[in-house]
Structure 1
Amino acid sequence: MRVAILGCGYVGLELGRQLVAAGHDPVGVRRSEAGVAAIRDAGFQAVRADVTDADSLSAVPDVDAIVFAASSGGRGADAARNVYVEGLRTAVRAFGGRENPPEKLVYTSSTGVYGDHDGGWVDEETPLDPTTEKTRVLVEAERVALEEAPKHGINPTVVRFAGLYGPDRYRLSRYVDGPVTEGYLNMIHRDDAAGAVRFALEEADEDVLLAVDDEPVSKWAFADWLADECGVDHPEKRTVEERLAAGDLSTPAQRRLRTSKRCSNELLRGLGYEYAYPTFREGYRDAVDAFRAQADE
């Protein structure tokens, strides 16, 4: 299977490596020369193109499937809409209009589309209730994937990622140094995020899949576990009300702080996906070992 990974960044590079190992033929697509070089370093074909520019996408060869994992670079809602909504629409039309269009699209979204559930459980059937402009953009992009791709004969799957972590993104200081605000963490290791997309390409035929590990965890409990593993004192804890009272958060940050939920991976598990890192305990082991080794120097 030849797969174009549009926006072949943090998860996309790992996905490409997994696809190569599984005998597939990935094509990584990035808009910068540095991004293209990173794809080549990962060991598979690279093409320089921009998802918002249909003409540039003509440089990407015909493929059996496309994965849309482009990033807006952490910028605001307008930039996000340009990439996630307009970029996705451009890509669907560009590939769907070919003589040999792809059969499959996987669009990578976020569990942020659920909004607040007061610590309750959510799954693929839970109604969406985005609370920020950016998550409303993600919901709009999901509609593009699920409604427009089939018009071009492309079968879509939306994979909603929980919080990504892994190499270069462990952010231990956020929890070890504190203070830590209450709430739940829903996480997935980079390798399993890529693995969930690979599984969606190879085996799953669902409209939506939630990509999260086995154990949503209280931020306070996670911070204390991490401190114990690293051999340091437990960090300071703050309630949501205490953190909001500080008055130094933007309105979107306040909304994010007020959103609490636990995401279920029951569907992905039930379909047969096997996790490399079932919980944070396995996933953070390398980071903890590196922290302790540095502390012993």
Structure 2
Amino acid sequence: MRLLVFGYGYSAHAIAERLRTAGHEIAATVQTAAKAGQLSRSGIRARLFSDGDRDPAIAGEIAASDAVLVSIPPDQGGDRVLAAFGEAIAAAPRLGWIGYLSTVGVYGDHAGGWVDETTPVVPREGRSRLRAEAERAWLDFGATRGKATHLFRLAGIYGPGRNQLAQLAAGTARRIVKPGQVFNRIHVADIAAVVEASLMSPRAGAVYNVSDDEPAPPQDVVSFAAKLCGIAPPPEIPFAEADLTPMGRSFYDKNNRVRNALIRSELGVVLRYPNYREGLTALRASGEGPNNRARVETSG
């Protein structure tokens, strides 16, 4: 199978590496020549796609692909991939699967209640509204152009190099407490497993929540990471006193518990990391987090 990935970010990298290991052929778009060279050396065909550069070879990649994964966020003009390459994707003779990486943020705020794929999409702020509009555009495109389109609504992504252990090591971890607030999470390896399962069993118009089994307060996750490292957690900070960017504060405007039953019942996915404890424990075992000796010497 040949997969073309639009936007080779953190999650797309994990998906591509899983599929390459399974023997599939990967091409990807990137924004810089430096990133293109890096990918090419790793065995992935890289094509430039940015505001100022569009590699003409992308059209040929689309025509030769069996599947397309879109991992580029929309902007005020809508979905950039659909705008630039919609006609080429519609005309691609072999292409039978389109995947779009979205966010559970499109559900808006349900005051800590449970949401699933049937819950109405009611995003409250700009970024989530743009995502919801892009979702609708891709589903409409798939339905009218005969291309099986799939939405993956991702929870908060963590994994190697991007987790509370790494934040503790960098001295940036904070325990911000907003009573009743929970967040949903998903390890990047489990995202890759869900996308692979969908590729092997496509269903036109499918929507999947990609989240682990246990929504949890963010301060509990930091405390557990600190315990794994044998250090004291950072002090609690009341949400009202936290120095957050507008984007950071916006995450706390949504308080949901995300159900993930569909990825199990329909795709047969068994999460490798069904909760943050298992995920962080594995990351700590791989060497992530602060060095205890260095932390003791620094604090002493």
* TM-score tier (shorter): 0.7 to 0.9
Please give the root-mean-square deviation of Cα atoms over the aligned residues, in Å. Answer: 2.7
Q: Distance in 1 between matches of 2:186 and 2:70?
A: 18
- State the Cα distance separating 1:20 from its structure 2 match: 1.8
Paired residue secondary structure (1:3): strand
Give the Cα separation in 2 of the matches to 1:63 and 1:249: 42
Residue by residue, what CA displacement relative to the aligned partner does 1:153-185 show, whole Å, maximum 9, x if unpaired? 211000011111111211433798424233212
Contact preservation (8 Å) 2:116, 2:209: yes
User: For residue 125 of structure 2, what is the amino acid of its counterpart?
Assistant: T
- Structure 1, 84-93 or 130-139: larger mean CA deviation: 84-93
Residue 16 (structure 1) shift: 1.5
**Match for residue 266 of structure 1 among 252, 261, 264:** 261
Q: In the aligned structure 2, how far is the partner of 1:250 from the partner of 1:124?
A: 30
Q: Provide the residue aligned with 1:187 in structure 2.
A: 185
Superposed, 1:82-93 pairs within 5 Å as 82=77, 85-93=79-87
Select which of 63, 66, 76 maps to 1:64.
66
Identity of aligned residues (%): 27
Q: Distance in 2 between matches of 1:39 and 1:274?
A: 30
Provide the residue aligned with 2:131 in structure 1: 138
What residue identity is the alignment partner of 2:61?
Answer: V
Which amino acid in structure 2 is aligned with residue 86 of structure 1? R
Deviation at 1:215, TM superposition (A): 1.4
Q: Write the deviation string for residues 191-231 of structure 1: whole angstroms up to 9, x where unpaired.
A: 11122112221124252001111211122322222222221
**CA contact 2:33–2:48 (8 Å) conserved in 1:** yes
Q: Equivalent residues in 2 for 1:48-59 (5 A)?
A: 48-50=48-50, 53=54, 55=56, 57-59=58-60
TM-score, length basis structure 2 = 0.84
Distance 1:90 1:54, change over 3 A: farther
Does 228-237 or 13-22 show the bigger shift?
A: 228-237
Change over 3 Å in CA distance of 1:186–1:261 after alignment to 2 = same
**Runs of 5+ in structure 1 lacking a partner?**
73-79
Task: Provide closer, same or farther for how the CA distance between residues 186 and 38 of structure 1 changes in structure 2, counting only shifts above 3 A.
Answer: farther
| Aligned pairs for 1:107-256 within 5 A | 107-172=100-165, 173=167, 177-182=173-178, 183-205=181-203, 207-240=206-239, 242-243=240-241, 248-249=243-244, 251-256=246-251
Stretches of 4+ moved more than 4 A in 1?
50-56, 174-177, 248-253
Q: Displacement, 1:13?
A: 1.8
Q: Report if the CA contact (8 A) 1:2-1:65 is conserved.
A: yes
Structure 2: distance between partners of 1:264 and 1:200: 18
TM-score (norm 1): 0.84
Distance verdict in 2 for CA 1:189–1:152, change over 3 Å = same
Distance 1:257 1:3 in 2: 35
User: Where does residue 278 of structure 1 map in the other structure?
Assistant: 274
Aligned partners of 1:89 and 1:144 also within 8 Å? no
Q: Does 1:296 pair with 2:279?
A: no
Structure 1 position 28, deviation (Å): 1.9
Q: Secondary structure at the match of 1:131?
A: coil
- 1:95 Cα deviation (Å)? 1.6
When residues 293 and 259 of structure 1 are mapped into structure 2, their CA distance, relative to the original with a 3 A threshold, is: closer
| Separation in structure 2 between the aligned mates of residue 64 and residue 70 of structure 1, nearest angstrom | 19
For residues 223-244 of structure 1, give each alpha carbon's deviation from its aligned partner in whole angstroms, at most 9, with x where no partner exists. Answer: 222222221224333444x34x
Gap runs ≥5 in structure 2 = 295-300
1:95 maps to 2:94 = no
Letter in 2 for 1:112: G
Alpha carbons of structure 1 residues 150 and 21: separation in structure 2 relative to 1, 3 Å: same
